[in-house]
């Protein structure tokens, strides 16, 4: 997948971020291309959250550069990153359970039409597009005026991803979208992510689940204590090695020895 | 799991009448509507001999509903966005006193007094909202502070300027003026102009919530602030504007009251903040935000008006009203939670 002739959607170079005296990230460089799923792996506290918050404009890096389609950029707020088509979907708070499917689909970018001097919601359009959107994720025969809480966990998470795609995402950052889901539910989400990739979107997929990562990942980046430990292509890495890396690897070995 | 229909189609009942009925029962304001019908029916039978079913009593019910309703509509939007405003009762007193001082003490024209009063309410509302969103303090605390601060200031200032806590004679000689007619006049059947204001505020708040972008932002801010912000919703702005609107609604109600009674009182509006919260919650709005309906609040206000008037009309001591109100609140929330099965989503 890595090809020097094409420009990555996003490239970060030597990103550093400290919180007071705590070092969150040191010299992290990464790039994500169109039509690829980059799995971001690492233990809790390795800096995954900090990294995605920098990419989505929530935090500003202390030093280092971010390039979007080859152009140097800096984000003042998450609005700037959204404008460029960088969309982040978080695990639990991806949707609003008490709002209708149609309303959910357009939070933050509602279509409007003029009514005299006022701009009113284009409700018809909202329902039509949302209907298409949920049919795409395999939910048929459901009124778009229904509250999202009536959907299953997998459907909700998929709805959040579908919404991000509909809103013009070029780069999707998915923060553990499958970790709270059962096997069947997770596969619904994974399938959708894979389809979104094939439609040309770049995806950063954060997960703790090895089989989920292997199912759709093209490259695997491993963060360790704020540093980029290693990057592997799918062909370069075996499942056992990945499990070893993701489950804490050497630290666990040490622990095993100590206990014995 | 139950399915809630938030927006029902106009022709839906023709296709599937049973499902249409089910959807109606799951609307947030359904409980309030049923409660109102039951309570009204009860009093119209029990207090029929005392003249409950007359136009005078109907007018009186409307006046009592308005006393909570004008504030309640925007308080609903504020609660849906996840915030309380406990300072509205004190705001009614403060703005009444400000109008009184401007007109009687400082001889200002009425329009100027009202402009100053509304600006004051907007600034105070914005300030409270600003503290809530920027200092990340719970609105319960900030506006509880606002409640006592504003009440104390009102009392202190009026004492030091006019030597007492009540100002009278504010509407003297104004009866023929345009502003008096707008805020304190009467329409058909001698109904107060404030009722029209209530209906206007209710329609406005409903349209804002259900038919505008801003309305969707209100729901999403209360549903999950973090996610709403991640999607580009200016959640801070949403809440500050709603704090301003709620304070402004208190000023509007106060204006109607001061111009009709002709007096201002620093103790006015005591416990109104609680009645407002009760009506909003009876109306089906979730206390934790993210779900609710101004129509429900509208019906809740009428319920309170009917209760208060009904208890007075059946001839028992009016203080019973408070006891019944407390019970109605608890029963209403119980029914709302169980009909709509939304308890899973209260955090």
B1, pLDDT greater than 70: no
- pLDDT per residue as tens, chain A (260 positions): 445 568 888 898 999 999 888 888 999 999 999 899 999 988 877 888 889 889 988 888 999 999 998 889 888 888 888 888 898 888 766 788 889 999 988 988 889 998 888 899 999 999 998 888 888 777 777 788 888 888 887 888 888 888 888 888 889 999 888 887 888 888 888 988 998 899 889 999 998 888 888 889 999 998 888 888 888 888 888 888 877 777 666 677 777 788 87
**A82 contacts in chain B (CB < 8 Å):** 231-232
The residue of chain B with its CA nearest to that of A111 is B213
Q: Which of B235, B215, B218, B217 is nearest to B226 (CA)?
A: B235
> Would A152 be classed as within a structural domain?
no
Is the Cβ pair A145, B6 closer than 8 Å?
A: yes
The string of DSSP letters for B68-137 reads HHHHHHHHHHHHHTT---TTHHHHHHHHHHHHHIIIIIS---HHHHHHHHHHHHHHHHHHHHHHHHHTT-
Q: How confident is the model at residue B186 (pLDDT cuts 50, 70, 90)?
A: confident
CB A177 within 8 A of CB A165: no
Interface test with B, best of A77, A96, A163 (most B CBs within 10 A): A96
Q: What mean pLDDT is predicted for residues B175-191?
A: 86
pLDDT number for residue B9: 44
Is the Cβ pair A147, B227 closer than 8 Å?
A: no
Q: Which fold is adopted by the domain B30-335?
A: ABC transporter involved in vitamin B12 uptake, BtuC (1.10.3470)
Rounded distance between C-alpha atoms, residue B79 and residue B81, angstroms? 5
* pTM for this prediction: 0.83
Is the Cβ pair A98, B345 closer than 8 Å?
A: yes
> Would A223 be classed as within a structural domain?
yes
Residue ranges per structural domain of chain B = 30-335
Is the Cβ pair A145, B5 closer than 8 Å?
A: yes
**Containing structural domain, residue A218:** 10-95+168-259
pLDDT number for residue B42: 94
pLDDT number for residue A140: 77
> Would A247 be classed as within a structural domain?
yes
> Would A153 be classed as within a structural domain?
no
Interface residue A113 vs chain B (CB under 8 A)? no
**B226 contacts in chain A (CB < 8 Å):** 90, 93
The residue of chain A with its CA nearest to that of B6 is A145
Interface residue A67 vs chain B (CB under 8 A)? no
CATH number of the structural domain spanning residue A224? 3.40.50.300
> Would A142 be classed as within a structural domain?
no
The string of DSSP letters for A132-191 reads HHHHHTT--S--TTBBGGGS-HHHHHHHHHHHHHHTT-SEEEEESTTTTS-HHHHHHHHH
Q: How is residue B299 written in tokens?
A: 């019906």
pLDDT digits (tens, 9 = 90+) for B71-91: 999 999 999 999 999 999 999
How many structural domains are present in chain A? 1
Is the Cβ pair B220, A97 closer than 8 Å?
A: no
> Would A105 be classed as within a structural domain?
no
Interface residue A77 vs chain B (CB under 8 A)? no
Q: What mean pLDDT is predicted for residues B170-192?
A: 86
Is the Cβ pair B215, A121 closer than 8 Å?
A: yes
Interchain CB contacts (distance < 8 Å): A and B:
101
In the stretch 238-257 of chain A, residues with CB closer than 8 A to chain B read none
Which of B3, B223, B342 is facing A96, going by the closest CB pair?
B223
pLDDT number for residue B318: 87
Is the Cβ pair B290, A96 closer than 8 Å?
A: yes
Min Cα–Cα distance to chain B from A90, Å: 8
The string of DSSP letters for B168-188 reads --TTTTTTTSHHHHHHH-B-G
B342, pLDDT greater than 60: no
pLDDT number for residue A149: 84
């Amino acid at each position: 997948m890595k090809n020097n002739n094409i420009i990555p959607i996003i490239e970060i170079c030597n990103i550093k971020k400290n919180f007071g005296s705590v070092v969150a990230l040191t010299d992290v460089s990464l790039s994500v291309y169109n039509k690829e799923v980059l799995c971001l792996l690492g233990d809790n506290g390795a800096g995954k959250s900090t990294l995605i918050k920098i990419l989505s404009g929530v935090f500003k890096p202390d030093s280092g550069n971010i390039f979007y389609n080859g152009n140097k950029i800096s984000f003042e707020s998450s609005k700037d990153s959204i404008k460029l088509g960088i969309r982040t979907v978080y695990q639990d708070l991806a949707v609003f359970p008490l709002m209708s499917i149609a309303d959910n689909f357009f939070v933050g970018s509602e279509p409007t039409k003029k009514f005299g001097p006022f701009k009113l919601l284009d409700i018809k359009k909202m329902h039509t597009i949302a209907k298409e959107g949920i049919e795409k994720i395999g939910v048929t025969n459901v009124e778009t005026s229904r509250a999202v809480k009536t959907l299953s966990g997998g459907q909700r998470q998929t709805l959040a991803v579908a919404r991000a795609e509909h809103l013009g995402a070029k780069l999707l950052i998915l923060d553990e979208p499958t970790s709270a889901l059962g096997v069947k539910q997770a596969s619904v989400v994974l399938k959708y992510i894979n389809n979104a990739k094939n439609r040309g979107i770049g995806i950063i997929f954060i997960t703790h689940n090895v089989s989920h990562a292997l199912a759709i990942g093209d490259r695997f980046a491993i963060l360790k204590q704020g540093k980029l430990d290693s990057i592997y292509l799918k062909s370069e890495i075996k499942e056992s090695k990945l499990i070893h890396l993701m489950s804490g690897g050497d630290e666990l070995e040490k622990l095993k020895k100590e206990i014995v | 799991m139950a399915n809630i229909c938030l927006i029902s189609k106009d022709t839906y009942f023709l296709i599937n009448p049973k499902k249409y009925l089910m959807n109606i029962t799951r609307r947030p304001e359904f409980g309030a509507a049923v409660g109102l019908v039951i309570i009204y029916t009860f009093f119209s039978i029990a207090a029929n001999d005392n003249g409950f079913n007359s136009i005078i009593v109907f007018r009186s019910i409307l006046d009592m509903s308005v006393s909570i309703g004008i504030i309640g509509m925007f308080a609903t939007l504020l609660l849906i966005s996840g915030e309380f405003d406990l300072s509205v009762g004190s705001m009614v007193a403060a703005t009444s006193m400000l109008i009184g001082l401007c007109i009687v003490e400082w001889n200002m024209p009425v329009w100027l007094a009202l402009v100053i009063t509304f600006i004051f309410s907007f600034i105070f509302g914005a300030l409270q909202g600003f503290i809530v969103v920027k200092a990340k303090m719970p609105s319960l605390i900030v506006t509880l502070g606002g409640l006592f601060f504003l009440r104390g200031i009102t009392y202190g200032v009026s004492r030091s300027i006019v030597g007492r806590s009540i100002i009278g004679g504010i509407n003297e000689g104004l009866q023929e003026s345009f502003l008096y007619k707008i805020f304190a006049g009467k329409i058909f059947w001698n109904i107060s102009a404030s009722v029209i204001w209530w209906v206007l505020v209710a329609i406005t708040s409903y349209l804002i919530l259900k038919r505008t972008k801003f309305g969707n932002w209100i729901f999403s801010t209360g549903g999950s602030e973090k996610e709403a912000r991640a999607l580009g919703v200016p959640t801070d702005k949403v809440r500050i504007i709603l704090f301003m609107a709620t304070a402004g609604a208190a000023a509007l109600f106060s204006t109607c009251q001061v111009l009709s009674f002709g007096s201002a009182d620093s103790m006015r509006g005591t416990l109104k903040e609680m009645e407002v919260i009760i009506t909003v919650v009876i109306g089906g709005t979730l206390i934790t935000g993210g779900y609710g309906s101004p129509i429900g609040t509208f019906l809740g206000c009428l319920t309170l008006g009917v209760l208060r008037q009904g208890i007075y009309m059946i001839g028992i001591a009016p203080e019973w009203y408070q006891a019944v109100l407390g019970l109605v609140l608890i029963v209403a929330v119980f029914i709302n939670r169980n009909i709509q099965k939304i308890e899973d989503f209260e955090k």
